[in-house]
């Protein structure tokens, strides 16, 4: 049986799925047709129900639950892993964070966790531009655009590179979430189409867990699959990326991980008469 599988080319995703898609583990008769795309594209496809299995942003999860159920393995969730708000210039003397409301904010996709976390911290900020995550640093450094004061929300490997380019952190949006809620930060998870049997869903979840265990078992060796898709990234940055985003929550969300996702849904659905029952969104194991 062949399943379509979408995830990003970032080192954490390729590290997680390498053993699965390259058959370094027994896939028990399953084959995977892989599509590598940025998270905003994957979110859009998930809202359309395009793929059998895909990485998505937890910040957009409510928009795709008509098609998908959430697996418990393969995601990115943890403490100190959230997006950062950065700028080419520090805030001026006497300025505080509410002044960000007057900035033009560059965000890595409208239907993303990064956008939701920014909106929680700055609900009055309205001047937003949406770009692919790896275009944001260049936009902030381009002084010729007419946007005025600008700031950007960065994710993935840009957490490790922005300072080298002279950019400045204004706020850690993940830290803000953790202080406000007490929960780890739910960045992205793996979802699978609801119309598959529960036995197949559990089988795929188990295979992803085995793929991660295989990767951890051979770490710090970087598989060629990770290096191939890391877009000229230094090996030290790849390892920083993996160390930050792949952890015990990637093996299994656990109770605290599921509660963090539930809190995301509650925030997204504030005021809704019939909120989503969180017990219905995860596979039963």
For the cut 60, the answer to whether the pLDDT of residue 125 exceeds it is yes
Q: How far apart, in Å, are the Cα atoms of 67 and each of 52, 58, 59, 135, 142? A: 10, 15, 16, 30, 40
Percent of the chain past pLDDT 70, that is, above it, reads: 92
Mean pLDDT of 3-21: 97
What are the pLDDT digits (tens) for 71-80?
999 999 999 9
Which member of 67, 115, 156, 241 is catalytic?
A: 156
Percent of the chain past pLDDT 90, that is, above it, reads: 75
Per-residue pLDDT, 51:
98
Highest mean pLDDT among 14-18, 110-114, 132-136, 280-284: 14-18
Kindly give the interhelix angle for 198-218 and 11-21, rounded to the nearest 10 degrees: 110
pTM of the model: 0.89
Residue 89: pLDDT band (50, 70, 90) is: confident
Per-residue pLDDT, 276:
65
* Element (DSSP H or E) covering residue 213: helix 198-218
What are the pLDDT digits (tens) for 262-283?
988 888 776 555 666 666 899 9
**Is the model more confident about 80 or about 16?**
16
What are the pLDDT digits (tens) for 23-55?
999 999 999 999 999 999 999 999 999 999 999
Kindly give the interhelix angle for 254-268 and 113-121, rounded to the nearest 10 degrees: 70
Q: List all residues 6 or more positions away from 12 whose beta carbon is below 8 Å from its beta carbon.
A: 76, 241, 242, 244, 245, 246, 250
Mean pLDDT of 199-219: 98
Residue 261: pLDDT band (50, 70, 90) is: very high
**Is the model more confident about 143 or about 251?**
251
229 is a catalytic site residue:
no
Per-residue pLDDT, 146:
64
Distance between the two ends of the chain, CA-based, in angstroms?
Answer: 22
Per the prediction, the chain carries an average pLDDT of: 91
**Is the model more confident about 267 or about 202?**
202
What are the pLDDT digits (tens) for 230-242?
977 899 999 999 9
What are the pLDDT digits (tens) for 161-193?
899 999 999 999 999 999 999 999 999 999 999
Radius of gyration of the chain (CA): 19
Per-residue pLDDT, 280:
82
Residue 145: pLDDT band (50, 70, 90) is: low
Per-residue pLDDT, 273:
53
């Amino acid at each position: 049986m062949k399943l379509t599988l979408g995830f990003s080319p970032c080192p954490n995703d390729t590290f997680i799925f390498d053993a699965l898609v390259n058959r370094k583990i027994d896939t028990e008769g399953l084959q995977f047709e892989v599509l590598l795309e940025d998270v905003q594209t994957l979110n859009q496809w998930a809202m359309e129900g395009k793929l059998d299995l895909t990485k998505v942003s937890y910040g957009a999860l409510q928009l795709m639950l008509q098609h998908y159920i959430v697996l418990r393995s393969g995601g990115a969730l943890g403490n100190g892993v959230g997006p950062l708000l950065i700028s080419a210039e520090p805030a001026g003397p006497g300025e505080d964070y509410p002044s960000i409301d007057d900035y033009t904010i560059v965000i890595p996709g409208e239907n993303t966790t990064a956008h939701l976390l920014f909106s929680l911290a700055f609900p009055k900020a309205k001047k937003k531009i949406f770009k692919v995550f790896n275009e944001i640093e260049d936009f902030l450094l381009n002084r010729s655009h007419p946007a005025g004061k600008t700031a950007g929300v960065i994710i993935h490997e840009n957490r490790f590179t922005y300072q080298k380019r002279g950019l400045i952190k204004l706020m850690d949006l993940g830290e803000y979430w953790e202080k406000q809620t007490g929960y780890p930060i739910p960045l992205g998870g793996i979802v699978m189409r609801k119309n598959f049997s529960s036995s197949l869903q559990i089988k795929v979840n188990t295979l992803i867990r085995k793929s991660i265990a295989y990767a951890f078992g051979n770490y710090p060796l970087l598989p060629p699959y990770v290096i191939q898709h890391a877009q000229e990234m230094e090996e030290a940055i790849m390892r920083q990326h993996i160390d930050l985003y792949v952890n015990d929550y990637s093996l299994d969300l656990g109770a605290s991980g599921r509660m963090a996702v539930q809190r995301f849904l509650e925030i997204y659905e504030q005021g809704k008469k019939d909120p989503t029952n969180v017990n219905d969104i995860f596979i039963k194991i």
